[in-house]
Amino acid sequence: MRSVKSDKREPIREEGVQGLKYFRKLWPLFERLHDVGCGRDKAGNRELFMDQYCSLVLLFLFNPCIRSLRALQQASELKNVQRKLRSGRASLGSLSEATDVFDPERLREIIGELAREVQPMRRVGGEHLNQLLVAVDGSLVKTLSTIVEAAYLKNMHGQSKSAWRLHTHFDVDRGVPTRIDVTSGKNSGKSEEKNVLRAHLEADHCYVLDRWYAQFKLFNDIHAAQSSYVCRVRDNSRYEVIETRPLSNEALAV
């Protein structure tokens, strides 16, 4: 979300806000977040709570017309938004400090519950695979150097080295991510993609991997976790062919 700046766009109006109907389903899930971060509120005068903040963030994602923190604050003043989100006007100060006050880890359980409600849209493995088909990859997301320039040095070319790496497990049949781990952008050590996958292996999964994950030790670890894998190996990999299986008609049609 963008920092607070003067917003010269048209003011946010009730008729321009969409997606409010979804909050009827989300509110029973968000209610458990209401007291998060209230331990430091000794005076008892907090006006923005985590359940309300999460709703406002989703409102920002639902509405292209809300492009800044100030625009989100304006949207919080609308009567239909306050009614659907069960919140009052949010100040710029409360919105700005929210990321320091509210623990995002509390959302993990809710996200898991929502993901489990998504039904499979297809069966890629058909009758040949009984395990959960999961595609694994790590995506590099560069951050704004103006936000983190104090925490990261620049390289010899003067470019910011700041970035995040999103290690994602994607349920192929249901079309939803089941896990995303965020590390530094450096693809080595604890944040190296193979090591992050190794730390979160689960049983009864079939992991679909690109050639970066081609490591026999990782393959053995996946097997030890009672799962299987499909991986694109490197051209210089040494292996012995045990069995060759013809492609199914479904695979040939893709």
| Interval 105-114: pLDDT, tens | 888 888 888 8
Residues 27, 144 share a domain = no
By C-alpha distance, which of 197, 91, 71, 74 is closest to 134? 197
User: What pLDDT sits at residue 27?
Assistant: 86
User: CB neighbours (10 Å) of residue 101?
Assistant: 18
Sorted by sequence, the CB contacts under 8 Å of residue 37 that are 6+ apart come out as 49, 50, 101, 102, 103
CATH number at residue 160: 3.30.420
- For residues 172 and 248, membership in a common domain is answered with yes
Whether 127 and 61 map to the same domain: the answer is no
d(CA 93, CA 73): 10
Distance (Å, whole) CA 28 – CA 47: 20
Judge whether residue 233 has pLDDT over 60.
yes
Question: What whole-number distance in Å separates Cα of residue 120 and Cα of residue 208?
Answer: 17
Is residue 157 domain-shared with residue 56, that is, in the same domain?
no
pLDDT, tens only, 20-42: 988 888 888 898 998 888 877 66
Q: Which pLDDT score is estimated for 186? A: 84
- Domain match, 171 and 195 both: yes
* Number of domains into which the chain is organized: 2
131 lies in the same domain as 205: yes
Q: Which domain holds residue 44?
A: 14-109
Q: Are residues 58 and 166 in the same domain?
A: no
Q: Are strands 205-209 and 176-184 parallel, antiparallel or unpaired?
A: unpaired
Structural domain includes residue 146: yes
Say if residue 90 is in the same domain as residue 191: no
Residue 115 resides in a domain: no
Q: Are residues 143 and 205 in the same domain?
A: yes
Beta strand pairing call for 132-142 and 176-184: unpaired
Cα–Cα dist 199/207, whole Å: 14
Among residues 87, 109, 131, the one where a domain terminates is 109
Closest to 195 in 3D by CA, of 169, 215, 176, 179: 215
pTM, entire model: 0.66
How far apart, in whole angstroms, are the C-alpha atoms of residue 217 and residue 144? Answer: 36
